[in-house]
Structure 1
Amino acid sequence: MYQGKNFSERAGIFINLLLPVLVYQVISYSSGMIGTFMAGHYSSTDLAGVSMGVNIWNPIMYTLNAIVLALIPIVSQLIGKNKEEDIPTVVRQFLYIAVIISIILVIGLNTLATPIVDRLGMDSSIAEITKKYLFYESFGVLSIFLYVVLRSFIDSLGLTKLSMIMMIISVPINVFFTYSFIFGKFGMPELGGAGNAIAVSVTYTVLFFIALFLTLKHPKINKYKIFERERVKFKYWKEIFKLGIPIALATALETVVFSTLSLMVSRFDTTVIASHQAALNFSGFLYTLPVSVANAATIIIAYHVGAKDFKMAKYYTVLSVILGMCSSSIAGIIVLLFDKKIPYLYSNDSGVINLTAHLLLFAIGFAICDSFASALAGVLRGYKKVVPICVVMFVGYYLVGIPCAYYFVFKMGIGIEGLWIGWIIGLAVYALGVLFYYLYMRRGIKKKINLAN
């Protein structure tokens, strides 16, 4: 499994695993973009309101989701260690944890969303849309978390094509309900941009049932008998949270900094907010390339680390970084070729279109730094070295990125461009930190191998 005699064979293995992950990520993010497009064409106010809702929702959801994503390296290493008999119990514990997290999040959204939004000082019309968006998101929380557990389990078995197929099936469902709830079509209520949140909830509910069907019926998955009854076993929770909490913390650091920087512009006018969010949304789409490389790297590296084949893990690390940098080149070419056309996806307002086109140029620097850092972070997750990721991310984002952005925007008066410049500087520091830690870790591994020999 995941072996390769030379570079070309290893590249073929990696790409065979990567492509379904990439298609999944692109479609998944594109589904969110569709809702943003439709909200923008409904009105600029709805685009701004939904974007603010996303900036509050994403840090919370992605952070808690990251805990259950720890399933991938744990299961992949168990397979590498030939301890597959432990896999069913581990997955069941993740399902229990997902239910508990979902309950807490639903209660939190329905009690804290309104006071949080009120404290941001947004325009009242934008704030009202944001509140509705967060309320509607709570409808699908349980489905989202249970689906993520099952999908992560499927991916950890190397069956990434199944995840891709599920996401492809979800596209027409998402488009139909997004259009229906935003514009009030096909008998649905006209909810404006906030209707996108209901569409997301419905879509993930369907995805959960598809994943459930595959888990029960697919011969390579149902042999694990995941849904046999078993009590909660807290002894497994120690490893789950030991790995899951740092991954969640790293995710929180990443998503919160993006949202913090975006919320800095919440006091600007609607045109600036909408333009920034449009450019940020498309940058997120470009990010699906390196994040797919990182996810594939985690699966392969974790397997070889579990098998103690560190030499092969090193080969795949180099391959991951190469593919990550290739992805940044692709992202830069896309922006340069379509810089003047991309903004029309989000709005018909000339002010929003012109400013979005300008901000998209900063996305090139964003992509270069992020691609390199993401690839190595995926490798480190495969080694279960997640705490160092948190440390260097905190330094890069919070001790460098946010202060630089604040200084450029509010002290030097550069405006929205200053926010993006500070952001890129923080990303560059993070990328260098991840690289230095990986090199340090590799030296330690070499010493252990030499002593063993």
Structure 2
Amino acid sequence: MNTLLPINNFYKKILRIALPAIAGLSTQMVVSLVDTAMVGRLSEATYALAAMGIGVLATWALISFFSSLATGTHVIVARRFGQKDYVECGNTLNNSLFISLTIGIIVAAIGAFFAKPIADLFASDDEVAFYASEYIFYRFLGIPFFLISVSYRGFYFGISKTKIFMISGIITNLLNIVFNYIFIFGNLGMSRMGLAGAGLGSTLASSFDFFFYTAIMLLPSYRNRFQNFRRIKIDFDVIRSIWKISIPVSLQNVFILIGFLIFVAITGIIGTQEQAATQATISTLFISFLPCFGFGIAVQTLVGNNLGAGKLNLAKIYGFETAKVATIYTLILGIIFILFPQYVLLMITNDTSIIQTAKPVLRIAGFAQIFYAVGVVLANALQAAGKMLFVMKAEVITNLFVLVPLSYLFGVVFGYGLTGAWFAMPIYIILYSAIIFSKFLSKDWYEKIPLKSQ
């Protein structure tokens, strides 16, 4: 009985932070599913879905290098919050916002300008490339708002205020659905834009995040405690600290998305319908991916807070207990995906041929995702402890040197088609999770990260 009470308390604290984050992230999942469902019901669904797969991954491959500013901000603020240095938390947010605004404008301009070459690079079909380029162009217009919101998220995550993220996420993503309905199909007097309308709708909705997060920071309780609007200054020590934490995570994100972009391109070599089925399967997997990221947010906050307070043993316990909870979730979903793939895929598209093509690969993905939670959660815990480089190397090795070559080998060279290409997925996920888990078991998994006046 004496041991059960602390464990229950751990779970309560984990869920108190994780559940709002999961709710906020799940609204993004819902938008992804609804977007894909809307696009999947266009007359040009096969081409549009294939183009959407390229557009989503290509967009994120370019901006994810900078979206990891959330991690840098999150880790520093979590440590400072654990140390009860609230003014430095506000100073960290100010400098993170400065970085996001500067980079957001530059990345938006570059991404919009090179939308067509990016689409041509990864699409083997001209019509798919055309749709993808339009989608990429409109998505990049909203990058400045997105990156500023990323900095705010890192701050709110670090101080355990994930409910703010949840509220903003719900409203923003409801707006996203409304805008997409209007522009994709041409409702309320607007012209029908098809896939391009999904990109424009997402960009318009993303601006709400910026206004909402800023309004919260203007509340007296936040202004008085963190004093971020009273002490505005460019602090190069903080900027360097954010970059030292963020760059390895940025590189990891880019390599992940490039790896998956190549994976989608490989399925395009097998066939356009197979590429559309891959996009439908990936969209379905957001049901498990995004909640796992929510548990990752919780563990990064809890590990960071406890490391900042010098409670190293508690930090490690929170890592393991969060991984357990997340694994229960992915196990349940994995069973559903394996037993009822056709019904899950109906949320994405009513195209019978795409569903039949995607059924066996969703079963494979359902098995693989059971092991995904351990890798994601403990990787976030390691990042909070300063092991960004280790996590990055583990991801690069398993993604680019296991998933990509094996998917091509099984799917194209050996001729096993789409099922063969997707068979590389569980090998990649199990190997990555095993590497992360073994590192977390070691005694040297935490160390001081480069924070000013640590």
Coarse TM-score class (shorter-chain normalised): over 0.9
- For residues 48-63 of structure 1, the aligned pairs below 5 Å read 48-63=50-65
**How many residues align structurally?**
442
- 1:337 deviates by 4.8
Q: Which residue of 2 aligns with 1:451?
A: none
Change (3 A) 1:221 1:295: farther
- For residues 238-277 of structure 1, the aligned pairs below 5 Å read 238-277=240-279
Q: Which residue of 2 aligns with 1:380?
A: 382
Change (3 A) 1:186 1:239: same
Deviations 1:150-177 (A, max 9, x none): 1221221111111111112223311111
Q: Determine if the alignment matches structure 1 residue 24 to structure 2 residue 24.
A: yes
Q: Which residue of 2 aligns with 1:7?
A: 7
- 1:439 deviates by 2.2
Q: Structure 1: which 5+ runs fail to align?
A: 447-453
Given that 1:324 and 1:374 are in contact with CA atoms closer than 8 Å, whether structure 2 keeps it comes out as no
Paired amino acid for 2:20? P
Given that 2:337 and 2:363 are in contact with CA atoms closer than 8 Å, whether structure 1 keeps it comes out as yes
- For residues 94-243 of structure 1, the aligned pairs below 5 Å read 94-217=96-219, 219-220=221-222, 223-228=225-230, 230-243=232-245
Q: Which residue of 1 aligns with 2:291?
A: 289
Given that 1:404 and 1:422 are in contact with CA atoms closer than 8 Å, whether structure 2 keeps it comes out as yes
Q: Secondary structure at the match of 1:209?
A: helix
Q: Which residue of 2 aligns with 1:436?
A: 438
Identity %: 22
- 1:333 deviates by 2.9
Q: Which residue of 2 aligns with 1:76?
A: 78
Given that 1:250 and 1:393 are in contact with CA atoms closer than 8 Å, whether structure 2 keeps it comes out as yes
- For residues 400-415 of structure 1, the aligned pairs below 5 Å read 400-415=402-417
Given that 1:94 and 1:149 are in contact with CA atoms closer than 8 Å, whether structure 2 keeps it comes out as yes
Given that 1:215 and 1:222 are in contact with CA atoms closer than 8 Å, whether structure 2 keeps it comes out as no
Change (3 A) 1:387 1:444: closer
Q: Give the TM-score of the pair, scaled to structure 1.
A: 0.93
Given that 2:53 and 2:264 are in contact with CA atoms closer than 8 Å, whether structure 1 keeps it comes out as no
Given that 1:402 and 1:423 are in contact with CA atoms closer than 8 Å, whether structure 2 keeps it comes out as no
- 1:350 deviates by 1.7
In the alignment, the residues of structure 2 paired with residue 354 and residue 137 of structure 1 have an alpha-carbon distance, to the nearest angstrom, of 30
- 1:110 deviates by 2.4
In the alignment, the residues of structure 2 paired with residue 338 and residue 219 of structure 1 have an alpha-carbon distance, to the nearest angstrom, of 48
Given that 2:270 and 2:418 are in contact with CA atoms closer than 8 Å, whether structure 1 keeps it comes out as no
Q: Give the TM-score of the pair, scaled to structure 2.
A: 0.93
In the alignment, the residues of structure 2 paired with residue 227 and residue 32 of structure 1 have an alpha-carbon distance, to the nearest angstrom, of 35
Aligned match for 1:349, one of 351, 366, 388: 351
Aligned match for 2:425, one of 418, 423, 426: 423
In the alignment, the residues of structure 2 paired with residue 266 and residue 229 of structure 1 have an alpha-carbon distance, to the nearest angstrom, of 52
Change (3 A) 1:64 1:407: same
Q: Secondary structure at the match of 1:50?
A: helix
Q: CA RMSD in A?
A: 1.9
Q: Determine if the alignment matches structure 1 residue 397 to structure 2 residue 399.
A: yes
Larger deviation: 294-303 or 52-61? Answer: 52-61
In the alignment, the residues of structure 2 paired with residue 294 and residue 423 of structure 1 have an alpha-carbon distance, to the nearest angstrom, of 21
In the alignment, the residues of structure 1 paired with residue 220 and residue 23 of structure 2 have an alpha-carbon distance, to the nearest angstrom, of 21
Q: Which residue of 2 aligns with 1:449?
A: none
Larger deviation: 216-225 or 326-335? Answer: 216-225
Deviations 1:367-415 (A, max 9, x none): 1221110111011122121110011112211222222112111211111
Q: Which residue of 2 aligns with 1:303?
A: 305
Q: Secondary structure at the match of 1:186?
A: coil
Q: Secondary structure at the match of 1:119?
A: helix
Deviations 1:179-219 (A, max 9, x none): 10000001222100121011111111012111111111262
In the alignment, the residues of structure 2 paired with residue 424 and residue 353 of structure 1 have an alpha-carbon distance, to the nearest angstrom, of 21
Change (3 A) 1:444 1:189: closer
In the alignment, the residues of structure 2 paired with residue 219 and residue 155 of structure 1 have an alpha-carbon distance, to the nearest angstrom, of 17
- 1:8 deviates by 0.8
Given that 1:87 and 1:224 are in contact with CA atoms closer than 8 Å, whether structure 2 keeps it comes out as yes
Q: Structure 2: which 5+ runs fail to align?
A: 448-454
Q: Which residue of 2 aligns with 1:359?
A: 361
